[in-house]
Structure 1
Amino acid sequence: MERDDYEMLTSQDVDRSIRLLDSALSTPRKSLLKISRKQSRKVDDLDISKDGSFSSPLSFKPKISKRSSLSVENVYDNSITFGANEIKKLLSETSSVGLTQNQNTAKAAKDRLFFDFLEIWQTHGSIREVFESILDFVQCCSHTVTSIKNVWNQNLTKPGFFDEKILTEIESERNTWRLIYALYQNRLALLMQQEEENEEEDEENDYFLQSVSEKEIMLSLYKNDRVIRESQLVVDWLEQNASDLADGYGLEQYTDKTIAWENTLHELQSKKPIPYKSSRELITQLDPDAPHREKKALHDLDKEDDDRLIQEVYQEIRRGHLDAAQSACAHAGQSWRAALLEGWRLYHDPNYSAKNNQVQREPLPVEGNPYRDIWKLSAWKMCEDVTMPLKARASLAAYCGHLQTLLDASVSWEDQLWSYLKVSIDAKVEKEIREISLKSYVEMPQLYWNNIVTLEEIFNELQASKNPLVRRDAMSPEHIVQKYLVLDQIPQLMEEVSKWIQGSDMSVGSDYESVSPHFLRFLTHLVLFLRRIGRSECDSVGDAVIEAYVKLLIEMRESKLVAWYVSQLSQEDQIYYYAAFLEEITDSEERNACLKAAQEAGLNVDVITKTVVENIRQQSPSNDVATMEVQPDVSPEDLIKISALDWLLYYPGQRTELLIQTNALIANFLSAGNIQAARLAFNKIPDSTIDLIVSSNVNDSLTDDTYINLVLNNMPKQVSCATKEYLCYKAYLEADESFSDWFQYFNHGKPIEPVLKEGANFSEKVAFQHKYSQYKINYDRWKISMDSKTATTKTLLYNVLLFPMGWLVDDENVEDNDRTVQLSGLRSIVIPKVTFLLHTVMHGMEDYSGCVALSDLIAAEQYKLYKVFSKQKLQDFLSKALESSLELMNQGKDPWGYTVV
């Protein structure tokens, strides 16, 4: 086949292939690899030859225009027509169930960070392992980003599937942890390593002054100048971030290795018209400078490929992949462009090195460019030529120090920071070389030397950038943190953090202006890291950050997380925040888990549970109590307070505190007249409580005294008072319950005497006699039961009035005035009430003498019960006593119940 015929056939194949691709794109349901409507072929069925072409109707002729080449790789992703992940879009058929599962997977991946970070920090608990923690943080964030991206890429066609802000936030956090690792590894280098380096430096110092290369000067500068060394670390960090950001999305070359500008060459050499003739006048020569020198264009396809190559080269340089950029140039047949990127390298002849001379047997190759200064000035002038493509100039500007060109090519805060640092380091190294080296160099423009600026000046320039996007990004919390970490200005960083914490709502569902849950998690662990390495400036701000994070975790109801991070606060704050967390927990198993987590975290469980009960008793929380069984006359708020006592039931050692808190709650209920709630609270105390308290506070040898004297005289004052108060409430509640039972039986259990109606006939009289006999039997039975109940009730009521040392009367040595006032108030309520109840029982059972004797008891100086009566209540009682005296007089006795002789 002749060359012209081959070229015509090639053009026809190209035209037909592009039509096939356009057809595949225009009909979404058609697969790119679909052969026919009736029968499809799998990719495996296609015969792929060794050179990468297909021996099928879709195969293209090799070595033609890039638009006509398909290889094994670009079947999926590498064609010019199809971008990254587009084949996945065409083939993706995710169901709604799968979408929900993917959403849950993505959510679980990012929520898992809260637990993973705690596990990492606990695993590496010593200062020697602090950087292991940072590396694990980076890896954890990277895995999360990968998981989210995988789910996201499978659901790109689902509108509103995922918020890109979350992904960006976690990526930014990962990058910040990388920065922390790089900077603080350098800042906290061991002194031993520094001493070893100094010894080696002393040995070589004399020779270094005599013979030194550009590379050696640079290495010495990096070794001795902390600022330039850290600046280079930041540059490396920015390049790594850019590399990660571009993974899976970078530009790629889509042909086998070829020559430069092949379509232009083909048109220039072709004798006949070709289908794809350029729309502009072509260059006549193919040297690298031809387009610029002749002011003419390349072929349209070559121009497109050239732009793509220039873009790729710049992006690879931005990612720190100079070798990849040069490989791309060589792959595209533009080795001259790859060679152009070699001219910046520092000159170094290793044959003059003292170390090499000692063992050298053969000459070593020379490194770098001996005419580097000329290359740099030439590259600078090329950057000044605005007729060249911007990204081509920017690729050179990164190595010749032309700042403005780099800034013009920058689109983000990271890009501009990289640009400033890149040229600043270059200028500082160049200055050091020219000051030390004996070689003469060509002069660089003054604008080049203006690049020597401080890190503070660089960040100020970013904050005042002409690019509004860069200005906005410079004020973002993530970049502010990175800025102060680079500047090593921890106090200023903490000042900014304080503003964010004070100005943000920490609830889980709020729209954060500055602080999101994941950023708050990051700030918390940053504070912990700084504390561990001894950089805990502004501890109050650090505590505020941890407190804010604890509030967030409380909203999430994660007991293990809450307990551990609360343990990082002061003792007072530990009690306050964990008690606040426990107030919202009502499930018994969940409560047990919370207490276990508190113990593992080293919290003071006894004080915390006490605080929980006190807080709930003193407040009226708006808890959801719909599941609680509400008793008559007991409000939902009352049930919450009663349920809070369960916090003191988990540990036997807290029985004394349980007694104290229950007593206080009962006192509140009795003061409010809510005896039913008081009884429910009283029933919370296990029956074995008093015995347990006595056995743990009293010597076993004390067995001769009565039980009550044992309690009063042989225990600590607080325990003794609490125990006696409990016994007082027990006596009163038993008496009140007994009276209620007596009253119910007295008024509703008494048999009703049958009545014989007038004019009853014989049958009715017989029936009446039978009913009356049955009534007498029932009445006698009721009278016996009533007498028994009366005796029991009287005994229980008298137990209150005659309680040893007085009902709710504390020892005189107790100095709690509030308690004294409260108990006195309760006595003024309960003692008169019990007195009236006792009078009702005896008067109802016609024990009028007992009623009069009760008056003597109230007036007795031994008990001084009359002192708790108000004037009105005392008058009411005397009126009832008068009624009993009148009944005695009606029985022929004197007013005091004695028989009149």
Structure 2
Amino acid sequence: MAKQVQPSLESFLQAGDTPQPRPDEVAKTFKRRSVNIDLQKSIQLLDDAVSPSVNRPVRTPRSGYRHVNYTPNRLDSRFNTSVKDVFVFTPAKTKEGDELRTQNISPVLPILTTTQNMEFTTGIDMTEDLTQSNLTFLADGDPGLKASSGLYEDFMSAMKRCPAPHQVMDLLSCYEMSCSELVTKLKKLQKGVTRNQPKLKRTVTTLGLLRGELETWQLVKSLYKDRLETEAKDDDMNSNDEGLLTKVWSLSEQNITSHLYEKDRLVRQSQLVIDWLEMCAAENLDTWAENVKMFVDQPVSWENSLHHLQKMKQGLRATTERPTISEMDPDAPHRQRKPLDDLDKEDERLLLKCLFWCLRAGQLDKAQELCHICGQPWRAASLEGWRLLHDPNYYSYSSAGDGKQSSVEGNAYRDVWKSVCWRMASETELDKYERALYAALSGNLESLLPVCVSWMDFLWAYYKVMVDIKVEQEIRLHRHVTRTLDSMPPEFWDKMLEPQEIFKEIGASVDEAVRQESEHWYHLIQKFVILGDVPALINVMHSWLQNRKDYLPQHLLRLMVHIVLFLKSIGHVSKEDLCEAIIEAYVADLIKSKRKSLVAHYVATLRAPAQVQWYASFLEGVEETEERQQCLVWAEEEGLDVAAITKAVVERVRDRETTALPPENSLAPDVTVTAEDRAKIDAIDWLVFDESHRSEAMKQANAIMRAFIAVKKHLAARQAFEKLPTDSIDVIYRQWHLQTGTGELPVEDSNAIREYMCMKAYLDAVESFNDWFSLYHQGRPAKPSVGSEGVASFTDRVALEHKMKQYQMEMERWRHSLRQQTRVTKDRIYNVLLFADGGWLVDAEEETDMDEVRQRQMSQLRKLHLPALCLNLHNVLHSSEMYADAVQIADVIASEHHQLYQDFDTESLQHLLGQISRSSRCLLDENKDPLGYEVV
């Protein structure tokens, strides 16, 4: 809240003479009572200091873990940047081991940022504007979705660049860098538009998800780098542990602590967790610290209280009736039981809060710097006592070779300092942030938790206390001292919690918001990563798919999949079936969102049967020819079984149910090809792209044609037949010869070619019959008609005679065409009825593994179409007055060589014989015997 200084200024002006400030020590009171001061502007600046910030930059922190200094390290020089530099910083590739910092979030909507958790922000003006392209980008659609669309390709590219197991750390760095760059981009987009725009709401949501993902990758990278590097070393370290515990070695607290980190995996990785939590918090710190210096910096501490004392010393009336401290030493407020000036109290509270969050962010040196700037060097000194004792003179000579001794590092009486800090943290009269500041340095969890407002704050507090206790225990166990160390209170040792107990206590926190955050997606993933509980991690991610599959954000699903793939690459994965389900869910999402270029890569991570089914399912929705070819290229690049996949695609398409019913006349023209039919026909294209798949293409085309002919869709069957290139038989022989060196095809390929020829014969017969039917019924010339009154004039009679001659000529041409078409139709139908080597749709050779479904279909097609072909052949011959040929059909059916009668049922056979008998009567009318022979 802004500070109201106007009443103090008025009362101060009424006091008469005003003491002149010293040139080098201009108190804040004098600054604020300047005649030219813009009071409203000052209030606005104060409001801005506590207003929510829009963005925080992404920065590159130190690499590695800080195990020697288990409390916060000195501030890296890279953090000494101006506010402007912070906000225009663009992350670049860091050196190996470097990590990127980002904001702390609670990654489930509504998203709670660390800015909200820490209760401090700034309204400082952003110095980087959006470019014109970005403005256009914002106008086109949701900026968050568009900006993050390329992240999926980035992750796949990273996996392709780092496929080997020894490149897993590089892979995690790529993931981290991709997320960091996108977070930076979204921050720029966010600050370029107003917050009440509907588009920005989804952008903020996306930004929160990506922050959580970035932090998760940073944690995974940090912990698993240590786990993979030290798995084989821990046993050797433990076996040689006793040899290092020498008397000289135990004189250094740094040596003891370093050895603890080297031998104890739990302590070392717990420190990595602390470093990660501090890294996440550090991102929000710099700008607010600058504002603290803007409003709190002063040459001396508590300048307003000092000013009151100076006025009282000069005999002037105080500006407040309430008594304040009469001495200016740091302990005066507590010793005298008197308050500071209200402005000083507010400044003190703001400073203490900033100091605590500097410590929370692992930047103790920044906190000490602020103490000096704000006129409290004594407090900076009080924060220095945590440093571990180390005398380098015991272990090495001066590097300069001059015989001079090196300076002793750390605090020889750290135990005393820590005991004092514990008591200060337990002092209820102190500000809660001051208590928390010293509680974090002394391991006082009870005083540290009240200022923690988020899940990550609580986790930091518990882990920091746990590591502090373990380090203190190790030092007191091994340090060689000549005096008795000051003991810590019993409550200090009671908080020796294991990681499982820590998460259990956080999950049962009295703070409802923290309990809810404990169940957030990203925090659950981070929890199990910290615990190293891979089975539980897989279980919880799989449970999200079952319970809220349709509501999981795409970015969360992508994170889940890549965590699973990372664990598989290092051999730490378990519950293979659940992992497969997670990957399959991501593949389904890629297919749904039409990210076609990514599908093949992630399908390749599945088991072989699932690869075929999922990629076939994906290809079903690809319709354009060029896209189909490209999808097959991607599949080949990823090592997928293209032959099995394309076969599965065609089978899936042709197995779709159809509601079409066959027409009554089996050979009637069928000019309707539905969309379902077209999809089945076009599916053959999948097997035509590669000549090595031509054999399978023919088999699938035969199956599709069988289905069409069964429902008498002859036009669709013809189109399916034409999908196969005309050289398909030659290609099949050539491909087989290239593979085996012999020209003798396997039985199944030989039977497929025979069936293909049967289909061609049948379709040719159908087309020929349709042509004859059209010519007979529609091509017959119409006879000229004579009116009811006859021919009235000579001219009309001449015209009629001319028409009759023309009609007779056309009639003769029609009869000639009909005779030719009849002969062609007769020959083509007989090609079907008398098909060589066993008959139409009868395999010449018996296969070892016979396809019973195919055999049943071909048998049914023979029973359905051969009787119909015989009947239609009789109609053609009888209508063309070729009665003898029509009667001969009976001989063909009765022949034991062809045994066509086996495909007739009683009813169809009786009907055909009845038609043949009609032709026999016509022969008798022509003075021939019933079989068509001349009567002698």
Q: 1:347 to 1:621 in 2, by over 3 A?
A: farther
Kept after mapping to 2: 8 A contact 1:645/1:658: yes
Question: Which amino acid counterpart does residue 760 of structure 1 have in structure 2?
Answer: V
Q: 1:818 to 1:192 in 2, by over 3 A?
A: closer
Kept after mapping to 1: 8 A contact 2:144/2:206: no
Give the alignment of 1:102-113 within 5 angstroms: 104-113=142-151
Given candidates 303, 309, 312, the residue that maps to 1:262 is 303
**Which whole-Å CA distance do the structure 1 matches of 2:270 and 2:464 have between them?**
9
Kept after mapping to 1: 8 A contact 2:398/2:405: no
Q: CA RMSD in A?
A: 3.4
Q: 1:737 to 1:367 in 2, by over 3 A?
A: same
Given candidates 685, 705, 721, the residue that maps to 1:666 is 705
* Residues 286-330 of structure 1: CA deviation (Å, up to 9, x unaligned): 111112222222222222211111111000000000000000001
Match of 1:343 in 2: 385
Match of 1:185 in 2: 225
Question: Which amino acid counterpart does residue 259 of structure 1 have in structure 2?
Answer: V
Given candidates 318, 330, 334, the residue that maps to 2:372 is 330
**Which whole-Å CA distance do the structure 2 matches of 1:635 and 1:643 have between them?**
12
Kept after mapping to 1: 8 A contact 2:234/2:263: no
Kept after mapping to 1: 8 A contact 2:561/2:586: yes
**Which whole-Å CA distance do the structure 2 matches of 1:137 and 1:759 have between them?**
98
User: 2:520 matched to 1:472?
Assistant: no
SS class of match (1:188): helix
User: 2:353 matched to 1:311?
Assistant: yes
**Which whole-Å CA distance do the structure 1 matches of 2:128 and 2:251 have between them?**
61
Q: 1:718 to 1:11 in 2, by over 3 A?
A: closer
Tell me by how many angstroms 1:279 deviates: 7.1
Tell me by how many angstroms 1:215 deviates: 2.5
**Which whole-Å CA distance do the structure 2 matches of 1:354 and 1:844 have between them?**
119
Give the alignment of 1:688-837 within 5 angstroms: 688-697=727-736, 714-756=744-786, 759-761=790-792, 762-805=794-837, 806-811=839-844, 813-814=846-847, 815-837=850-872
Tell me by how many angstroms 1:817 deviates: 2.4
Match of 1:428 in 2: 470
* Residues 46-74 of structure 1: CA deviation (Å, up to 9, x unaligned): xxxxxxxxxxxxxxxxxxxxxxxxxx989
Question: Which amino acid counterpart does residue 265 of structure 1 have in structure 2?
Answer: L
Question: Which amino acid counterpart does residue 169 of structure 1 have in structure 2?
Answer: L
* Residues 267-296 of structure 1: CA deviation (Å, up to 9, x unaligned): 322379999945743211111111222222
Tell me by how many angstroms 1:24 deviates: 10
Tell me by how many angstroms 1:479 deviates: 1.7
Question: Which amino acid counterpart does residue 646 of structure 1 have in structure 2?
Answer: D
Match of 2:59 in 1: none
**Which whole-Å CA distance do the structure 2 matches of 1:418 and 1:353 have between them?**
34
Q: 1:794 to 1:393 in 2, by over 3 A?
A: same
Tell me by how many angstroms 1:655 deviates: 1.4
Tell me by how many angstroms 1:208 deviates: 3.7
Given candidates 153, 173, 177, the residue that maps to 2:191 is 153
* Residues 574-611 of structure 1: CA deviation (Å, up to 9, x unaligned): 00100011111112222122111101111011110110
Match of 2:176 in 1: 138
Match of 2:444 in 1: 402
Q: 1:880 to 1:466 in 2, by over 3 A?
A: same
The TM-score, its normalising length taken from structure 2, stands at 0.82
Answer with 685-694 or 246-255: which moved more.
246-255
Number of paired residues? 826
Q: 1:247 to 1:528 in 2, by over 3 A?
A: farther
Question: Which amino acid counterpart does residue 232 of structure 1 have in structure 2?
Answer: Q
Kept after mapping to 1: 8 A contact 2:145/2:206: no
**Which whole-Å CA distance do the structure 2 matches of 1:497 and 1:136 have between them?**
23
Kept after mapping to 1: 8 A contact 2:708/2:714: yes
Q: 1:19 to 1:825 in 2, by over 3 A?
A: closer
Answer with 14-23 or 688-697: which moved more.
14-23
Give the alignment of 1:188-267 within 5 angstroms: 188-189=228-229, 205-208=245-248, 212-246=251-285, 248=287, 252-254=292-294, 258-267=299-308
* Residues 475-497 of structure 1: CA deviation (Å, up to 9, x unaligned): 22322222222222222222222
Question: Which amino acid counterpart does residue 884 of structure 1 have in structure 2?
Answer: S
Give the alignment of 1:628-647 within 5 angstroms: 632-647=671-686
Identity among equivalent positions (%) equals: 37
Tell me by how many angstroms 1:726 deviates: 0.9
**Which whole-Å CA distance do the structure 2 matches of 1:621 and 1:410 have between them?**
64
Match of 1:854 in 2: 889
Tell me by how many angstroms 1:369 deviates: 2.0
Answer with 224-233 or 193-202: which moved more.
193-202
Match of 1:612 in 2: 649
Q: 1:279 to 1:89 in 2, by over 3 A?
A: farther
Q: 1:247 to 1:833 in 2, by over 3 A?
A: farther
Kept after mapping to 1: 8 A contact 2:506/2:514: yes
* Residues 337-380 of structure 1: CA deviation (Å, up to 9, x unaligned): 11111122222322233677996821221222222222222211
Given candidates 578, 581, 592, the residue that maps to 1:555 is 592
Kept after mapping to 1: 8 A contact 2:445/2:461: yes
Match of 1:377 in 2: 419
Question: Which amino acid counterpart does residue 348 of structure 2 have in structure 1?
Answer: D
**Which whole-Å CA distance do the structure 2 matches of 1:10 and 1:812 have between them?**
107
Match of 2:696 in 1: 657
Answer with 544-553 or 485-494: which moved more.
485-494
Tell me by how many angstroms 1:240 deviates: 0.5
Tell me by how many angstroms 1:736 deviates: 0.8
Tell me by how many angstroms 1:499 deviates: 1.8
Tell me by how many angstroms 1:147 deviates: 0.9
* Residues 619-655 of structure 1: CA deviation (Å, up to 9, x unaligned): 2599xxxxxxxx9422221221112111112111111
Q: 1:575 to 1:249 in 2, by over 3 A?
A: farther
Tell me by how many angstroms 1:842 deviates: 0.9
* Residues 777-813 of structure 1: CA deviation (Å, up to 9, x unaligned): 2112222222222221111111111111201111352
Match of 2:665 in 1: none
Match of 1:33 in 2: none
Gaps of 5+ in 1: 27-71, 623-630, 704-709
User: 2:905 matched to 1:863?
Assistant: no
Given candidates 162, 172, 182, the residue that maps to 2:212 is 172
Kept after mapping to 2: 8 A contact 1:413/1:462: yes
**Which whole-Å CA distance do the structure 2 matches of 1:276 and 1:676 have between them?**
107
Match of 1:522 in 2: 559
Q: 1:226 to 1:741 in 2, by over 3 A?
A: same
Kept after mapping to 2: 8 A contact 1:559/1:597: no
**Which whole-Å CA distance do the structure 2 matches of 1:187 and 1:5 have between them?**
65
SS class of match (2:886): helix
**Which whole-Å CA distance do the structure 1 matches of 2:752 and 2:650 have between them?**
16
**Which whole-Å CA distance do the structure 2 matches of 1:311 and 1:620 have between them?**
70
Match of 2:57 in 1: none
**Which whole-Å CA distance do the structure 2 matches of 1:276 and 1:760 have between them?**
141
Tell me by how many angstroms 1:96 deviates: 12
**Which whole-Å CA distance do the structure 2 matches of 1:3 and 1:92 have between them?**
50
Kept after mapping to 1: 8 A contact 2:751/2:845: no
Kept after mapping to 1: 8 A contact 2:371/2:380: yes
User: 2:525 matched to 1:481?
Assistant: yes
Q: 1:94 to 1:17 in 2, by over 3 A?
A: farther
Question: Which amino acid counterpart does residue 176 of structure 2 have in structure 1?
Answer: V
Question: Which amino acid counterpart does residue 264 of structure 1 have in structure 2?
Answer: S
* Residues 429-476 of structure 1: CA deviation (Å, up to 9, x unaligned): 112222223441122211111121211111111111111111111222
Question: Which amino acid counterpart does residue 177 of structure 1 have in structure 2?
Answer: W
Gaps of 5+ in 2: 1-16, 48-81, 88-119, 660-669
Answer with 569-578 or 179-188: which moved more.
179-188
Question: Which amino acid counterpart does residue 182 of structure 1 have in structure 2?
Answer: S
Kept after mapping to 2: 8 A contact 1:613/1:647: yes
Match of 2:336 in 1: 294
Match of 1:388 in 2: 430
Q: 1:9 to 1:326 in 2, by over 3 A?
A: closer
SS class of match (2:34): helix
